[in-house]
């Protein structure tokens, strides 16, 4: 499973990059807005830190404006992936960008049919929002797994990015289902790493070691 970091916070990205477990980064307009910095500068900085796909989401809503914005964002760095919402205009834009081999991550996906359409439009990544599905009583992991099944069955040249991850069990269950990628908030990455028995065990090792030295 690949792990992406779902943030535009440069300090979080730096810390996560040092762990050596992050394969890419995803952002969205909300995450970018939180940083209160120039959009393109933030994306450029992220690309300098992480050597992997970095998703930058268009803020246009019509297909032609999305395509125009995509070309501008693509010029930032070769690792930039264009995030486009799964709307009618988004599919038109994604199809046009696929013809020009501009990598697209189709986002705000909530059903396997949306993922199927994204793959048919030539998207490189499809992002089902696991947490937001759970929030309304649906099974987000199941839907991410169904999206993965479609891609595997028809051998689409696309990968599933399980997004809107709320806690470590989302990552674990998506990994169990063979989902390609999970994009996780920094907080969840830290939760995945921590275990009280690890901390307690290390403290005991150190206590025993020091007592033997004295
Ligand atoms: O960035 C896309 C997705 O991960 C956002 O998730 O937490 O806003 O539901 P969230």
Q: Which pairing describes strands 24-26 and 54-57: parallel, antiparallel, or unpaired?
A: parallel
Max Cα–Cα distance, the chain, nearest Å? 73
Task: Tell which residue, 131, 23, 123, 33, has the closest CA to residue 81.
Answer: 123
> What percentage of the chain has pLDDT greater than the value 70?
100
Mean pLDDT over all residues of the chain? Answer: 98
Taking the CA of residue 28 as reference, the ligand 1 atom at the shortest distance is 1
Contact 18, 10 (CB under 8 A): no
Ligand 1 touching residue 183 (CB < 6 A): yes
Which atom belonging to ligand 1 lies closest to the Cα atom of 27? 1
Nearest residue (CA) to ligand 1, atom 7: 164
The DSSP letter of residue 62 is: S
Give the Cβ contact number of residue 166 at 10 Å: 17
Please tell me the residue having the least CA distance from ligand 1 atom 9: 164
Mutation test residue for ligand 1: of 35, 85, 129, 143, the one with most atoms within 8 Å of CB: 129
Whether residue 165 has pLDDT greater than 90: yes
Q: Which atom of ligand 1 is nearest to the CA of 127?
A: 2
In the chain, the number of structural domains is 1
DSSP lists the bridge partners of residue 81 as 55
Name the pLDDT band for 214 (thresholds 50, 70, 90). confident
Q: Which atom of ligand 1 is nearest to the CA of 30?
A: 8
Whose CA is closest to 118, among 84, 72, 74?
84
Q: What mean pLDDT comes out for the span 54-66?
A: 98
Q: What radius of gyration do the chain's Cα atoms show?
A: 19
Q: Is the CB of 131 under 6 A from ligand 1?
A: yes
Strands 80-85 and 159-162: unpaired
Statement: the pTM of the whole predicted model exceeds 0.75: yes
**Over the stretch 91-101, which tens digit does the pLDDT of each residue have?**
999 999 999 99
CATH of the domain at 66: 3.20.20.70
Range of the domain at 58: 2-213
With the most atoms of ligand 1 within 8 angstroms of its CB, the residue from 12, 106, 163 to mutate is 163
The band of 156, judged by pLDDT with boundaries at 50, 70 and 90, is: very high
pLDDT in tens, 100-111: 999 999 999 999
Q: Given a cut of 90, is residue 200 above it in pLDDT?
A: yes
Distance from Cα 34 to the centre of ligand 1, integer Å:
13
User: Residues 153-160: what's their mean pLDDT?
Assistant: 98
Q: Using DSSP, state whether 175 is helix, strand or coil.
A: helix
Residue from 108, 182, 200, 199 nearest 145 by CA:
182
75 is catalytic: no
Rounded distance, CA 19 to CA 176, Å? Answer: 23
Query: What is the pLDDT averaged over residues 176-193?
Result: 98
């Amino acid at each position: 499973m690949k792990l992406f970091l779902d943030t535009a916070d440069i300090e979080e990205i730096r810390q996560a990059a040092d762990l050596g477990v992050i394969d890419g980064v995803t952002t969205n307009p909300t995450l970018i807005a939180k940083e209160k910095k120039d959009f393109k500068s933030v994306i450029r900085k992220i690309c300098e830190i992480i050597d992997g796909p970095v998703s930058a989401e268009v803020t246009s809503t019509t297909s032609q404006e999305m395509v125009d914005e995509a070309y501008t964002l693509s010029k930032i760095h070769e690792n930039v992936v264009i995030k486009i919402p799964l709307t009618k205009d988004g599919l038109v834009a994604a199809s046009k960008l696929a013809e020009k081999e501009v990598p697209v991550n189709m986002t705000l996906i909530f059903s396997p049919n949306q993922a199927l359409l994204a793959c048919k439009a030539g998207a490189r990544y499809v992002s089902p929002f696991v947490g937001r599905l759970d929030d309304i009583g649906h099974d987000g992991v199941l839907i991410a797994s169904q999206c993965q099944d479609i891609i595997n069955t028809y051998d689409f040249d696309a990968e599933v990015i399980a997004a809107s991850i709320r806690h470590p069990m989302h990552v674990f269950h998506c990994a169990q289902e063979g989902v390609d990628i999970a994009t996780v908030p920094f907080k969840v990455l830290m939760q995945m790493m921590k275990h009280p028995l690890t901390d307690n065990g290390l403290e005991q090792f150190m206590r025993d070691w020091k007592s033997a030295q004295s």
